Amino acid sequence: MGRDGPAGASRGDDPETIAAIPHRDRDTGSDGMTTDDTAPRIDIVIPTYNRAHLIDTAVRAALDQSWWNRDVMVVDDASTDDTQRVLEPYFAHPRFTYVRLRRNLGTAGAKNAALLLTDGAGVTFHDSDDIPHRDKVLRQMRVLTRRDVQAHDSLNWAMIGKDANSELQIGAVLTHHELLLPDGRRVRIERTLSLVDDMFPNLQMGSEVPGDWTHVNSGLFRHDVFARLGGFADCIEEDREFRNRLILNGEVIWVIPDVLLTKVETPDSLTQSAVSDYDSPQRCADRARVWDKVAQWRATGQVAPVPVDLPHLEVEFCNAPERLRPRDMPMTDATRAARDAALRCPAPSLQAAQ
Give pLDDT tens digits for 9-57. 443 333 333 333 233 333 334 444 434 445 899 999 999 999 999 999 9
Question: pLDDT value at position 272?
Answer: 42
Contacts of 119 (CB under 8 A, 6+ apart): 43, 223, 325, 326, 327
Would the pLDDT of 339 be above 90? yes
Domains and CATH numbers, the chain: 2-346 (3.90.550.10)
Question: pLDDT value at position 211?
Answer: 54
Say how many C-beta atoms besides its own lie within 10 A of residue 85's C-beta.
11
pLDDT digits (tens, 9 = 90+) for 305-334: 999 999 999 999 999 999 999 999 999 999
Would the pLDDT of 106 be above 60? yes
Would the pLDDT of 354 be above 70? no
The arithmetic mean of pLDDT across residues 51-72, rounded, is 96
Give the residue with greater pLDDT, 195 vs 34. 195
The arithmetic mean of pLDDT across residues 118-145, rounded, is 96
Sign of CA dihedral 117, 235, 125, 266: positive
As a three-state string, the secondary structure of the chain is CEECCCCCCCCCCCCCCCCEEECCCCCCCCCCEEECCCCCCEEEEEEECCCCCCHHHHHHHHHCCCCCCEEEEEEECCCCCCHHHHHHHHCCCCCEEEEEECCCCHHHHHHHHHHHCCCCCEEEECCCCEEECCCHHHHHHHHHCCCCCECCCCCCHHHHCCCCCCECCEEEEEEEEEEECCCCCEEEECCHHHHHCCCCHHHCCCCCCCCCCCCCCCCEEEHHHHHHHECCCCCCCHHHHHHHHHHHCCCEEEEEEEEEEEEECCCCCCCCCCCCCCCCHHHHHHHHHHHHHHHHHHHHCCCCCECECCCCCCEEEECCHHHCCCCCCCECHHHHHHHHHHHCCCCCCHHHHC
Question: pLDDT value at position 10?
Answer: 40
Question: pLDDT value at position 27?
Answer: 35
Give the predicted TM-score (pTM) of the model. 0.85
| Best mean pLDDT range from 188-197, 224-233, 272-281 | 224-233
Say how many C-beta atoms besides its own lie within 10 A of residue 168's C-beta.
20
Give the residue with greater pLDDT, 24 vs 181. 181
Question: pLDDT value at position 181?
Answer: 86
The arithmetic mean of pLDDT across residues 265-278, rounded, is 56
Question: pLDDT value at position 189?
Answer: 83
What does pLDDT average to over the chain? 84
Question: pLDDT value at position 127?
Answer: 94
Would the pLDDT of 87 be above 90? yes
Would the pLDDT of 269 be above 90? no
pLDDT digits (tens, 9 = 90+) for 244-264: 999 999 999 999 999 999 999
Spacing of C-alpha 180 from chain mean position: 21
Question: pLDDT value at position 25?
Answer: 36
Would the pLDDT of 241 be above 80? yes
- Report the candidate in 133, 56, 135, 66 with the shortest Cα–Cα distance to residue 96: 56
Give the residue with greater pLDDT, 203 vs 289. 289
The arithmetic mean of pLDDT across residues 107-111, rounded, is 96
Question: pLDDT value at position 212?
Answer: 55
